[in-house]
Amino acid sequence: MRPAPFSVGILGTSGYAGQVLHALLMQHPCMRPVCIEGRSPTDAGPREVERLVACDAVALCLPREASKEWAAALELAAGAHRPKIIDLSDAFRLEASPRETAAGNPIHYGLPELYGAPPPGTQLIANPGCYPTATLLALRPLLEADLIDAQKLVVHGASGASGAGKGLAEHLHFCNLSENVFPYKVGEHRHQPEIEQHLGHGAQISFVTTLLPLVRGLSVTAFVEPKAGVTPDQLREALVERYLDHRWVTVLTEAGQGLGLRHVHGSHQGVLAVGPRQSGGHIPVFASIDNLMRGAASQAVHNLNLWFGLFAGLGLPAPLENPAGIPAAAGSLGRGLMYA
């Protein structure tokens, strides 16, 4: 007899990330979505709170303050049965300690390739967002290998408008965004402290983001200063080695069209590349992801699979195996494992 699927309550299905997560769970062979409406527990009412508490997990696809309110309400109402909570906002990401100091921390930072499965005792997964995911995948292995200067990191990110959420804002109006590109939240982007914390190694970054006239997709270009004698090939080799067993991270042999956002649209893939040394001495390191998938919903599914003890890739799109237009890759296509 086939076991009953895990029930996953979703709060915030009217938002972009919540819609994509619902669509993924509708097709998942071992999970079923339970959609609850209500910006706050008061809006939803006690009966809906009870429905959530009865779920195996609850996904919070809400703004940070609403997520905090719901997390507190679920903990208070849970009693003996406490559902797993995965939060897709940034409400708890700074409370999730780096793995090397995370002993006893009930909050797990859910970037599987770098942090693995949630350890025993985890009560909440802080699901990383789009800019942190792309930047950490590109830079953290290079810092771990002591190949680049942690104090001299310059990161430029560019994303589609869905990354800004559904809130009404003048810069998101069609007439302002169409056929246009401009920087936003310069000097005040809320993801910068999160990125620096989870890069570790005392990292400090200069971080600027640009809004693209696209619905979805995100590209990061990081300019790094290599340690003495370190070459671009060594940086790339470090990424290849780090992600050899992780099929949803592809390391290209060269930077170019393979980093295009159309390649990652609708996928769980992170596509990385290293460029040649610039005349100023810096080396560009690139990352491309779908902000609504790898930067939100499919990453949540990946984390839930690991938390429930399921196969890591269950319900996720198949890894990209050298699609048309992408040059030869290495690392992700190496040993062919799909565990994290």
| Residue 130 bears catalytic tag | yes
List Cα–Cα distances, 299 to 32, 91, 316, 320, in angstroms: 17, 17, 9, 16
Q: Which of 328, 316, 222, 320 shows the shortest CA–CA distance to 29?
A: 316
Count the residues in the chain. 340
Angle between helices 232-242 and 130-144 (to 10 degrees): 110
Catalytic residue among 35, 55, 61, 130, which? 130
Instruction: Note the Cα 146 to chain centre separation in Å.
Output: 24
* Interatomic CA distance for residues 160 and 16, integer angstroms: 12
Residue 32 in tokens: 């079923």
* Interatomic CA distance for residues 245 and 135, integer angstroms: 19
Strand segments (E) across the chain: 6-11, 31-36, 57-60, 84-87, 107-109, 124-126, 148-159, 182-184, 205-211, 218-226, 249-252, 270-274, 283-289, 329-330
User: What's the order of all strands across the beta sheet hosting 218-226?
Assistant: 182-184, 205-211, 148-159, 218-226, 283-289, 270-274, 249-252, 329-330
Look at residue 327 and give its three-state secondary structure.
coil
Residue 21 in tokens: 């997560």
**Active-site residue numbers?**
130
